Chains A and B, each alone.
Chain A
Amino acid sequence: MRSFSETFQNKANLISRRMFILSTIKVGVFVSIISRLFYLQISENIKYRSLSDKNRFREWKLVPQRGIIEDFFGNKIADNTQTFQLYMTPEDVPNLEELFFKLSKIIDFNETKRKRLIKRLKKRKPWEPIIVSDNLSWPEFSKLNLFLHEMQGVKPVVALARKYSEDGSSSHIVGYVSEVSVKDLESTEWLREINVPGLKIGKNGLEKFLNKRIVGQPGIQRFEVNAYGKRIKELELFKGNAGENFRTTLDQEVQKFTSELIKKKSGSVCVMDIYTGDIVSLVSNPTFDPNKFVHGISQEDWQALIKDTKKPLINKSMAGLYPPGSTIKPIVALSALENDVISPKFTVECRGSVDLYDRTYHCWKEKGHGFMNLRNGIKQSCDIYFYEVARRLGVDRLSVTAKQFGLGQKVLGTFFEERSGVVPNTKWKLKNIGKGWYLGETLIAGIGQGYFQSTPIQLCLMTAQLANGGYKIKPKIIYNEQNFQTTTEDGGEKFKQLYRNQENVKFILDAQFGATNEPMGTSYRSRHVKPEYIYAGKTGTSQTRTITAEERKLKLKQKDLPYKKRDHALFIAFAPYRNPRYAFSVVIEHGGTGSSAAAPIAKKVIRKVLDRHKLRTKYQSDLFKEV
């Protein structure tokens, strides 16, 4: 018994001793757990708190309101209007097929739209609202609201969408907006930051150029979300900022008028203030309805635009390249005078053609003009005279003057679609064609043919810089902004003199007066008689191909030729002749001669612009007073 109790005692002692060791270990483990808690909850608290917030909060961006583009008088060219949209939250819809069937009865929701929607649905989370239709008509919308109680999970929404003036007169210059594409995102960094589902972005024209400032700042909605990304509650709302509004120098009234004038033709009209560089009108035809692009253009409409041989999508005013033809003659003449190659008295006999460098060069007037001096050469646009002037001047000196007056470089420089054209010279040919310059090419350069390529807006600028007495101006389309080219070669000097002797410029302008207002002048038939409208101009007819000897014999009339082979009709002008204020350029593609196809249009445009001049100045001075 004693031994038993002894063993018991021994055992109890042993167990208790070991228990004590164990307790020490336990305390150690507890301490380590507490220090782990301390580390996580106190030392690293900030890190984990921010991680927890990162889990919790999710931001949604709201589409900002795009700025408005107005014309000079405050008429809205690109506006925002209400559109009626239909959103659907897929997880709230009990039966998709049933809903689609009901929708097809109420709105335009056909099979293709249904398939496209189902395709989009697969890429999204069921609680994310999806746009079923973003442009409903009012009858559709009201009908929808009437039957809303029968359809669960859909939500009619009134939103803002771009609305352009419907006549399409400013479609090219203003451009259009459309959905953001992957390409847009890849190429534009700032867009990646503000991109929001449903955001529309300018693809063309001013809309594209102004994108960054006109698009606005997206609003931000902060939500608390759960682990599956579902929104639990809204925490914060930042409404965002609407984009800047822009006032342009355009006159919507003139735009419409001009667009109507060349409606059936393919071509361009440019009107520019010769002192301020304000572009009053810039029209390209045929045009298109930019509204179609806003909600995604249909395949048929797109194909129709693409396949049209008259290329409605191209802004011919600055992306269309035409040989300037005889409209370059004032520059050729000026260059020759400035370089003292000829004097105004320099005379050439025109017999209708001239043989030079083993080739025959023709004048447009087969019978010839007879003896021509410089003034008559310009007035009657004698090609033989200018062959000779060009031969003496040389293409390199000509190209210097032509470039000075705005040819061969971008006029606005801010439109990605604008092209710079070509002012050829010997170096240019060697570099771009890889061949030496032929003397014969100098001759045809003298009448604006050959390698010469210019855009209508370049011709307009050239005319303006002559008409203002020979000073450099900076064309602009956004009012209140000096120029988008931040650095200028002349160090910001406002009026840079382009001539050596102003008498030369005056002489050229007078010769152009003759061309329009004196008998035998090429645009005499399109002159204005009323003193306040009297203007000076220069016609141009640029060939689209070389005329063969056989064709010359046949004396083919323009209208007998196939459309594509007809000449481009050009006309440049400035008005009024006394105290000139506006420069004009008209280009009618394959329109025939400048005097018959382009000058009559210019005549009407000039009258319209001059009629509105008073209003424009008054409006401008009123604006100044307000300031």
Chain B
Amino acid sequence: MEKNYFQKRNQSISDKILAFDFQLLLLILALGTISILAMYSSEMGHFSYYTQSHLYRFSIFFLIFIIISFFRIQFWYKSAYLFYFLVMILLFGVDLFGVTASGSKRWISLFFINLQPSELMKVSLIIFLARYYDKIPTTNVNNLKYIFIPFLSFMIPAFLVASQPDLGTAVLIAISGLIVIWLTGFKIKYFLYSFFVLFCLIPIGISFLKPYQKTRILTFLNPERDPLGAGYQIIQSKIAVGSGGIFGKGFLQGSQSYLDYLPEKQTDFIFTLFSEEFGFIGSLILLTIYALIIYRIAVIGSESRNNFARLFCFGFAAAFFVYVTVNMAMVLGLLPIVGAPLPIMSYGGSSMLSIMVGLGIVMSCKIHNQEDLS
């Protein structure tokens, strides 16, 4: 039975390998390599904890990515709901048995690994929505009957994640959900209505924010408000990026990160470290790699013969784009610091796993793009 998912009537393993999108594969490998080098630099040129575990994770998750891409698209189509609900259970599990670190309960201990289900929710939500909308005709998308489930599907996890509290990931989940819904033909005016309602709800929402979240927003509006406290991160990050110049300070030469002025340099601020050392040119190259990955995902989506794959790829491309730009805009002082990792570059297992699973499904779409779901 399982073999069925692996092999279609006329596609052998070698056929599948040949059907790989090698451009995407190379881009992912390039990004992985850059991320390991950046991690190496974040440890002042020592091959120690962060670099090692980042390398191991990337290797393992890359393997998982390859394996996932061999699964037939039907498998993902059929197990989409299951996948979503499993992650949902984990998310509830976090609320009940979660591991608390630095003030928020985000992780769940699965004996061998500390998992962050909110990261996995990012990709499972997209699968869920792609699966849900696959069968609904365009004309019915705006039907009230078909609105509730999609909206609940992203609002419940977003609410759970926000209460961990992890506002950044909650917002990212909500945004990726909304994008997929919009892609299916949801009328823009409804968005405008709901945004208006949301806008009216902002004052109420603010009262629910934790004090540190309020500080973050205020700090974003004026980082010099408290240069040694809450504004410290963004000020130091801007100094690091700005001092990089056109060509950067050179590999392992970033004084801001080397001398510990840069906070969270392995996770959210890894782009700052990279940008300080490789400058404007390096940052452009990194941005190009990300842009090409997004482009490839979109191309794969448009080449797909079924709407599930198409919707998933487009949704994932959009979400991937949002992750990248939110992180960069954040470290460049264009958005408040909300805690959004940079895909693959940032240290963090769950985030990378989520991205690699997503990319694996995309690759599966590519390999099996001639298949119909019927």
A215-239 residues with Cβ-Cβ distance < 8 A to B are 224-228, 232
- In the complex, 22 of the A-B residue pairs with CB atoms within 8 angstroms, ordered by the A residue number, are A11-B307, A16-B310, A19-B314, A22-B183, A30-B291, A30-B325, A32-B334, A33-B287, A33-B329, A33-B334, A36-B329, A37-B283, A38-B280, A40-B332, A41-B279, A41-B280, A45-B244, A45-B245, A51-B239, A52-B239, A52-B255, A56-B259
Q: Which chain B residue lies CB-closest to A44?
A: B242
Chain B, residues 250-282, CB within 8 Å of chain A (1/0): the string is 000001100111000000000000010001100
Asked if A34 CB lies within 8 Å of chain B CBs, one says yes
Asked if B284 CB lies within 8 Å of chain A CBs, one says yes
Q: Which chain B residue lies CB-closest to A56?
A: B255
Which A residues lie within 8 Å of B332 (CB)? 33, 36-37, 40
Given A15-B310, A26-B294, A52-B243, A42 and B138 touching (CB < 8 A)?
no
The reply to whether A29 and B325 contact each other, CB–CB distance below 8 Å, is yes
Given A15-B183, A30-B287, A33-B329, A52 and B256 touching (CB < 8 A)?
yes
State in angstroms the CA–CA spacing of A14 and B334 once bound together: 32
**What are the 10 closest A-B residue pairs judged by CB atoms, nearest first?**
A48-B242, A52-B243, A227-B260, A226-B259, A40-B242, A41-B280, A49-B243, A48-B243, A227-B261, A45-B245
Asked if B318 CB lies within 8 Å of chain A CBs, one says yes
Which B residues lie within 8 Å of A12 (CB)? 307, 310
Q: Which chain B residue lies CB-closest to A47?
A: B242
Query: Shortest Cβ distance from A3 into chain B, in angstroms?
Result: 9
State in angstroms the CA–CA spacing of A42 and B247 once bound together: 10
Which A residues lie within 8 Å of B291 (CB)? 30
Given A11-B307, A22-B179, A55-B259, A37 and B241 touching (CB < 8 A)?
yes
Query: Shortest Cβ distance from A62 into chain B, in angstroms?
Result: 23
State in angstroms the CA–CA spacing of A56 and B236 once bound together: 12
Interface centre among A19, A42, A56, A226 (most CB of B within 10 A): A19
The reply to whether A42 and B256 contact each other, CB–CB distance below 8 Å, is no
Residues of A within 8 A of B (CB): 7-8, 10-12, 14-16, 18-19, 22-23, 26, 29-30, 32-34, 36-38, 40-42, 44-45, 47-49, 51-53, 55-56, 224-228, 232
Which B residues lie within 8 Å of A19 (CB)? 183, 298, 301-302, 314
Which A residues lie within 8 Å of B334 (CB)? 32-33, 36
The reply to whether B287 and A41 contact each other, CB–CB distance below 8 Å, is no
Which B residues lie within 8 Å of A45 (CB)? 242-246
The reply to whether B260 and A37 contact each other, CB–CB distance below 8 Å, is no
Query: Shortest Cβ distance from B319 into chain A, in angstroms?
Result: 11
The reply to whether A16 and B239 contact each other, CB–CB distance below 8 Å, is no
Asked if B120 CB lies within 8 Å of chain A CBs, one says no
Q: Which chain B residue lies CB-closest to A27?
A: B291
The reply to whether A55 and B246 contact each other, CB–CB distance below 8 Å, is no
Chain B, residues 58-99, CB within 8 Å of chain A (1/0): the string is 000000000000000000000000000000000000000000
The reply to whether A16 and B238 contact each other, CB–CB distance below 8 Å, is no
Query: Shortest Cβ distance from A37 into chain B, in angstroms?
Result: 5
The reply to whether B280 and A15 contact each other, CB–CB distance below 8 Å, is no
Which A residues lie within 8 Å of B182 (CB)? 18
Asked if B311 CB lies within 8 Å of chain A CBs, one says yes
The reply to whether B138 and A49 contact each other, CB–CB distance below 8 Å, is no
State in angstroms the CA–CA spacing of A40 and B329 once bound together: 12
Query: Shortest Cβ distance from B231 into chain A, in angstroms?
Result: 14
Q: Which chain A residue lies CB-closest to B283?
A: A37
Query: Shortest Cβ distance from A270 into chain B, in angstroms?
Result: 59
Which B residues lie within 8 Å of A36 (CB)? 329, 332-334
Q: Which chain A residue lies CB-closest to B288?
A: A30
Q: Which chain A residue lies CB-closest to B254?
A: A52
Query: Shortest Cβ distance from A122 into chain B, in angstroms?
Result: 21
Which A residues lie within 8 Å of B236 (CB)? 55
Given A30-B291, A52-B239, A41 and B179 touching (CB < 8 A)?
no
The reply to whether B261 and A55 contact each other, CB–CB distance below 8 Å, is yes
B151-182 residues with Cβ-Cβ distance < 8 A to A are 179, 182
The reply to whether B325 and A22 contact each other, CB–CB distance below 8 Å, is no
Chain B, residues 293-326, CB within 8 Å of chain A (1/0): the string is 0100010011000010011001000100100010
Which B residues lie within 8 Å of A55 (CB)? 236, 239, 255-256, 259, 261
Query: Shortest Cβ distance from A40 into chain B, in angstroms?
Result: 4
State in angstroms the CA–CA spacing of A51 and B321 once bound together: 32
Query: Shortest Cβ distance from A58 into chain B, in angstroms?
Result: 11
The reply to whether A40 and B241 contact each other, CB–CB distance below 8 Å, is yes
Which A residues lie within 8 Å of B183 (CB)? 15, 18-19, 22
State in angstroms the CA–CA spacing of A44 and B333 once bound together: 14
State in angstroms the CA–CA spacing of A10 and B140 once bound together: 13
Q: Which chain A residue lies CB-closest to B183?
A: A18
The reply to whether A14 and B284 contact each other, CB–CB distance below 8 Å, is no
Query: Shortest Cβ distance from B105 into chain A, in angstroms?
Result: 29
Asked if B203 CB lies within 8 Å of chain A CBs, one says no
Query: Shortest Cβ distance from B132 into chain A, in angstroms?
Result: 13
Query: Shortest Cβ distance from A168 into chain B, in angstroms?
Result: 52
Q: Which of B244, B287, B318 touches A22 (beta carbons < 8 Å)? A: B318
Query: Shortest Cβ distance from A97 into chain B, in angstroms?
Result: 31
Given A15-B183, A15-B185, A40-B238, 18 additional A-B pairs, CB 8 A: A16-B302, A18-B182, A19-B314, A22-B318, A26-B318, A29-B325, A30-B287, A30-B325, A32-B334, A33-B329, A33-B334, A36-B333, A37-B280, A41-B242, A44-B242, A55-B256, A227-B260, A227-B261
Asked if B137 CB lies within 8 Å of chain A CBs, one says yes
